[in-house]
A and B are shown apart, each in its own frame.
Chain A
Amino acid sequence: MILPLKLEGLSYSAAGREIISPLSLSIEAGPSTVILGANGAGKSVLMRLMHGLLEPSSGRILWSQGNERAIRRLQAMVFQRPVMLRRSARDNVLFALRAAGVETTACGERADDALREVGLAHLASNPARVLSGGEQQRLALARAWALHPEVLFLDEPTASLDPGATREIEAVIKAFDAAGTKIVMATHNLGQARRLGDEVLFLHHGRLVERSPVETFFKQPASAEAAAFIKGELPWA
């Protein structure tokens, strides 16, 4: 177990601009965490800091276990636009497994399981780069699924997909959740936050403004910024 994840006084600046103001919080195993906020609020940067793709300008990121290798091994991330390697769908999953150091004998079966889980078994031998956008994102989820991560970070996984593909992606994310994987997802889509989230972290201009259970957040947002965001995103409400 590498959770809980503790962020202590974490901040991030680039080119003299503060993108994440110092924040401290703890990410526990269990409830799905949705990071909400407008474009430029710092959602993606916060996820990249947690996943170790960016070095914080100050503060610390503490996983409950100190072993560097286990920490890398037990988390996966799915990006808004996943990079597909120029090889077959199945080989993309195998690449992720080998990179994670999974024993070669176990790789084949785990890759096939993962492809079946996301409904891509019939496209296993197709080149990944010629799959549709939705299929590519499902393949990205299969690569993550095969790794059996304890934590899955998702950065706006459906932002460039149509409603049909979005539903399919959300179904796979729910399956991750059901299988016990901790979901940490950035989105600006309120409907998606409601459908998939248990708790909301609301970011505004790089500050963590609010953290509350999803029901409370939408019924009675504690901050004026969150209230304005909900209203702005749902003008018909």
Chain B
Amino acid sequence: MLIAKADTALVSIIALSLKVSLSAVFFATLLALPLGAAIAVGRFPGRKAIVVLLNALMGLPPVVVGLVVYLLLSRAGPLGDLGLLFTPPAMVVAQTLLILPIIAALARQAVEDAWIEYREQLRSFGVTGLAAAPTLLWDIRYSLVTAILAGLGRASAEVGAVMIVGGNIDGVTRVMTTTIALETSKGDLPLALSLGIVLILLVLLLNAAAFVVKEAAQRRYG
């Protein structure tokens, strides 16, 4: 019922949530896929340590990412002049940093598994080392959807990072998760709960859409 009489404020909260998280997924994917692929096929000293570090960073606490970005963007911080703190772009930056290791680590594993299968064939074609990375990424594109969805799940679910760098300002940086946290502490449990349901439904919808596209493409291209 509460969802049904959704007012414009609520709609804008939901829209901002989607905008922030999807932007973060976009930028993180752009950076994480080449990074993951490079680590997968590259041979350089310290590679194993980087793999372990990247895997560990998947568990990065959102509040810690929020705090670091807060310090970077605060007026006295090195990027303070940009004036981004307590704006949606700051939230995008925080979520991008949060999910970049998740997408990169999962992509690294997927590319490395493919590399075992493709290595000899590509080498026979004269494609070795880093040159193989774009080919591998393109060839396992359907598997990478799962890695990207993991990033989306994390971004849309977290509250700590956006709370700290966004500030949960009404009408400016308030998103679904921060609203839920706020309404819960205010005692408006029905509103918090219905927002929670909306959030879950949205994530489910995005995953279902990605799944359908992936399945169709996989059937078509094998």
Given A86-B141, A130-B221, A77–B126 Cβ distance below 8 Å?
no
Chain B 184-222 interface mask (CB, 8 Å, partner A; 1/0): 000000000000000000000000000000000000111
Interface assignment of A96: CB less than 8 Å from any CB of chain B: yes
Q: Could you tell me the distance between the alpha carbons of A205 and B187 in the complex, rounded to whole angstroms?
A: 78
- Asked if A83 contacts B222 (CB within 8 A), the reply is no
- Asked if B139 contacts A85 (CB within 8 A), the reply is yes
Give 5 nearest A-B pairs by CB, closest first. Answer: A129-B222, A83-B121, A130-B222, A99-B125, A127-B221
Closest CB in chain A relative to B103 CB, distance in Å: 20
A residues with a Cβ closer than 8 A to B are 48, 51-53, 72-73, 76-77, 79, 82-87, 95-96, 99-101, 127-130, 143
- Asked if B125 contacts A87 (CB within 8 A), the reply is no
Q: Could you tell me the distance between the alpha carbons of A192 and B118 in the complex, rounded to whole angstroms?
A: 27
**Cross-chain pair count, CB within 8 angstroms:** 50
Name 19 A/B residue pairs within 8 A (Cβ), A-sorted.
A52-B123, A53-B120, A77-B124, A79-B120, A83-B117, A83-B120, A83-B122, A86-B138, A86-B139, A86-B140, A86-B141, A87-B138, A96-B125, A99-B126, A100-B125, A101-B126, A127-B221, A128-B222, A129-B221
Q: Could you tell me the distance between the alpha carbons of A143 and B118 in the complex, rounded to whole angstroms?
A: 15
Interface of B is mostly: helix
- Asked if A127 contacts B222 (CB within 8 A), the reply is yes
Interface centre among A72, A86, A100, A128 (most CB of B within 10 A): A86
Interface assignment of B127: CB less than 8 Å from any CB of chain A: yes
Known pairs A79-B124, A86-B141, A127-B220. 9 more at Cβ < 8 A? A72-B126, A76-B124, A77-B124, A79-B120, A83-B117, A83-B121, A86-B140, A99-B125, A143-B125
A53 / chain B contacts, CB cutoff of 8 Å: 120, 123-124
